[in-house]
Structure 1
Amino acid sequence: MTRLPPVPKRPPRPATPAALRQAIRDEALRLGFDAVGFAPAALAPEARRERLQRLGDFLAAGWQGDMGWLGERADERADPQTLWREARTVVSLALNYGPAVDPMAALGHDDRAAISVYAQGRDYHDVMKSKLKALGRFIWDTWRHDLKVFVDTAPLMEKPAAQAAGQGWQGKHTNLVSRRFGSWLFLGEILLSVELPADEAEADHCGQCRACLDVCPTAAFPAPYRLEARRCISYLTIEHEGPVDRDLRPLLGNRIYGCDDCLAVCPWNKFAQRARETALMPRPALDAPLLAELATLDEAGFRRRFAGTAVKRIGRDRFLRNVAYALGNSARRAAALPAIERLLGDPSPLVRGAAVWALSRLAPQEFARRRGAIRDEHPDVHAEWSAALAEEVA
């Protein structure tokens, strides 16, 4: 758990909104936040309509996939004051999680797992929440202003709020880009009942660059600033609950939790800094672990290995499904085949089905030999055998 510095003795009550704003900024930085910004909680009617239109278009296209919650409480997503009528100021807080090494380096080792940078340390929700609560307690204890704290837990559009607060801009990959920290920022917010002076909103500095769009393995960006989540590897390996579409599986490579490609190639990363919050730094056990080793994890082993991380939230079965796909994409047949054989007998039909595909892809001859010997009556696994056989015949 992140150890927070003690709250200092109550300072004199600031006489002006500007002084209050400065006191909140100073305390936030003392608590370990890397950047702080302030924006009005109220949106102009035109801006509100634009946000609702963009969200509506995204949902109408079905790009949200299994994330049905994105369509809930749409009005609140578009306007902080609809979420909380008393809100007057959005305090946008950011934590830098910049990696010390190239996050795409693991892609060159197909016997190892590529885990997204953000998930290699402690779950950022926990780290961010503890700091936000400490800042909120400081504000309440000192000035008794009502407030609400958010960290990816409510229908608040945090990236537009961060841009309005001068933290950065939403890049063509739809993530926040900062001139100081590149594409490596976690965001959290505090809504305040008091109106404070706002920072200047950040402008878009992407220009003609399209590096993030062109690098995407699954072509998940139908246009700049538009993401079709159903094709995004982060969505497929984290949010999607069932089998991944067969045509997308080879494109996953060895990415078993998230994907950093569009973030890692952003030219603004030349100004990025290494994370200074120790809880967010990668654990050695999560930095490109061997796929064959991960394939041996039972439920207890999975929970132990990923305790306190974001990976644990997807559950062992979904995680092993991803591992099986990665094994099928490996060129290391000698190391991968025993692991796939093990997963063919896994208790989870989701994992067994993924292992069937991996076997048919990595070792067609072995697949041909095994298909008559295995009698898996689960409909999903049976469908995988049938689909793989059809592909072999074709």
Structure 2
Amino acid sequence: MQELPSTVDAAALLARLRGWARELGFSQIAVADVDLSSAEPGLQAWLDAGHHGRMHYMAAHGLKRARPAELVPGTLRVVTARMDYLPRDTAPGWQAVEWAGLATPEQAQISIYARGRDYHKVLRQRLQKLAEQLQAEVGPLGYRVFTDSAPVLEVELAARSGLGWRGKHTLTLHREAGSMFFLGEIFVDLALPLTEPVSGHCGECRACIDVCPTAAITAPYRVDARRCISYLTIEHDGPIPEALRPALGNRVYGCDDCQLACPWNKFAQPAVLADFDARPGMAGTSIAALLAWDEAEFLRRTEGSAIRRIGFMRWRRNLAVAAGNALRVRDDAALRAALQRAGQGSDALVAEHIAWALSAPRSAGALSSGTPSVGAFE
């Protein structure tokens, strides 16, 4: 074990670490132990149930995700960090704006976190700088930085270190910041002082469970990724199951519904970094306009964005589903024409979804929040 130098005051060091973190744009810093053995049964049960879907890397890593010292030998502590990501110009009542967007069928809805720069890049670079500052303070240090990029139980570490508690939607919640933030970690071989966990404050609330369009939150603190719109539009690389397509509404990348419904997000804070400001075309843009992008335009518009990782074909697949749902609400000749143009020369995956969209029967009803009856998917 690498102990802190005798000349270093542990509490003062942690205070300095938090100060450096704030200068780098982080909202909070804490420290967790590496013993996550009590989380292993729940992780194994989730994998055994197949709730990870086609994310085969989850099963491949298995329980390593709950063993930080196995992932990075020598790790003694995990410095946990969170960074708020609401765009800087976010105004009070932003949830109502998002619900209105979901109720506008012809408008493409992109998850808030993905409208700016790729958070992987932003957090990783800043965590690296934070680790370097720590090393400059204490001397030689073994460390590795992560943000949603390795087999790490991020929410578990965040909860154990006191960044917040695990909400019923499985995301981290904070009393003064809701859940609209990213998590990141620095694995270190230094025995930093541990910070205390906080108690949970979800109580009897089940707003996130009830609002989920596909009933993906199968029980409090349990999500079946195979039904989750974020998984279906981002991680899933095959056809989106037909029974679930109507539930996607106009969501073309990710889903924020469980967070929009959470009462704690009335306290969500805007980011301090410009990186998470929405880029042109990523908010309030019509599905037809996005279907008009060719692959070169898609790559140009998504350079440095988390969206690029799904690739052009999945992007168009998602747009086709959203277009089909919009056409169910009211017919739109321009949208049909955009679909037909996008279908020319497309691969089999995109062509199948465009055919589905163009053949979708129209409905006399209108989308409200895009949330269907849960019973439709039982």
Q: TM-score, normalised by structure 2?
A: 0.88
Structure 1 equivalent of residue 40 of structure 2 = 52
- Residue aligning to 1:127: 122
SS of the aligned residue for 1:256 comes to strand
Q: Does 1:221 align with 2:225?
A: no
Give the RMSD, CA atoms, in angstroms.
1.7
Post-superposition CA distance 1:98-153 (Å, at most 9, x none): 35222333101111100000100000001101101111111223322221211112
Aligned match of 1:289 in 281, 285, 290?
A: 285
The 5 A counterparts of 1:204-243 are 204-243=200-239
Secondary structure of the corresponding residue to residue 284 of structure 1: coil
Query: Partner of 1:277 in structure 2?
Result: 273
Given that 1:183 and 1:264 are in contact with CA atoms closer than 8 Å, whether structure 2 keeps it comes out as no
Query: Among the aligned pairs, what percent are the same residue?
Result: 43
Q: Is the 8 A contact 2:20 2:130 kept in 1?
A: yes
Aligned residues: 348
CA contact (8 A) 1:111 1:332 kept: no
Q: Who is 2:162 aligned against?
A: 166
Partner-residue secondary structure (3-state), 2:134: helix
Partners of 1:98 and 1:264 in 2: how far apart?
A: 12
* Aligned 1:77-156 pairs, distance under 5 A: 77-98=65-86, 100=90, 101-102=94-95, 103-143=98-138, 144-156=140-152
Contact 2:330–2:362 (8 Å) recurs in 1: no
* C-alpha distance in 2 between matches for 1:233 and 1:14: 51
* SS of corresponding position for 1:222: strand
Contact 1:216/1:261 (8 A) holds in 2: yes
Work out which of the residue numbers 22, 28, 32 in structure 1 matches 2:25.
Answer: 32
2:11 corresponds, among 11, 18, 34, to 18
**Does the CA contact (< 8 Å) of 1:75 and 1:82 recur in 2?**
no
Corresponding position: 1:74 with 2:72:
no
- 1:13: how far off? 9.7
Q: Distance in 1 between matches of 2:21 and 2:7?
A: 16
CA apart distance, 1:73? 2.4
SS of structure 2 residue aligned to 1:148: strand
In 2, Cα distance between equivalents of 1:305 and 1:32: 25
Counterpart Cα distance in 1 of 2:335 and 2:61: 45
Match of 1:329 in 2: 325
The answer (yes or no) to whether the contact 2:44–2:63 under 8 Å persists in 1 is no
- Could you tell me whether the CA contact under 8 Å between 1:147 and 1:193 is conserved in 2? yes
Cα 1:249–1:14, aligned 2, differ >3 Å: closer, same or farther? farther
Deviation at 1:84, TM superposition (A): 2.4
Counterpart Cα distance in 2 of 1:131 and 1:13? 28
- Give SS of 2:130's match: helix
The CA deviation at 1:288 is: 2.2
Q: Which has the larger radius of gyration?
A: 1
Runs (5+) with no aligned partner, structure 2: 364-378
2:283 maps to a residue whose letter is D
What residue in structure 2 maps to residue 258 of structure 1?
254
| Ranges in structure 1 where 5+ consecutive residues have no aligned partner | 1-11, 365-394
| C-alpha distance in 1 between matches for 2:7 and 2:119 | 32
Match of 1:64 in 2: 52
Instruction: Tell me the secondary structure at the aligned position of residue 154 of structure 1.
Output: coil
Change (3 A) 1:118 1:179: same
> SS at 1:91's partner residue?
strand
Instruction: Tell me the secondary structure at the aligned position of residue 218 of structure 2.
Output: coil
Question: Contact 1:13 / 1:142 at 8 angstroms: preserved in 2?
Answer: no
1:143-186, CA deviations, whole angstroms, 9 ceiling, x for partnerless residues? Answer: 22221211112211111101111101110001111112101110
Residue 20 of structure 1: how far off its partner (Å): 2.1
Change (3 A) 1:256 1:297: same
- Alpha-carbon shift at residue 347 of structure 1 (Å): 2.3
Seen in structure 2, the aligned counterparts of structure 1 residues 332 and 338 have a Cα distance that, compared at 3 Å, is farther
Moved more, 266-275 or 16-25: 16-25
Q: Which residue of 1 aligns with 2:312?
A: 316
Structure ranking higher on relative contact order (CA contacts 8 Å, 6+ apart): 2
| Counterpart code for 2:129 | A
Q: Quick check: 2:43–2:63 contact (8 Å CA) kept in 1?
A: no
Distance, in Å, in 2 between the alignment partners of 1:24 and 1:230 is 39
| TM-score between both structures, scaled by the size of structure 1 | 0.85
Q: 1:14, CA displacement in angstroms? A: 5.5
Determine the C-alpha separation between the residues in 2 that align with 1:345 and 1:317: 13
Partner residue, 1:342: 341
Shift of 1:318: 0.3
SS at match of 2:281: helix
Render the CA deviation track for 1:165-209: whole Å, top value 9, x for unaligned: 110111000111111210111000011211122111122111000
1:392 aligns with none
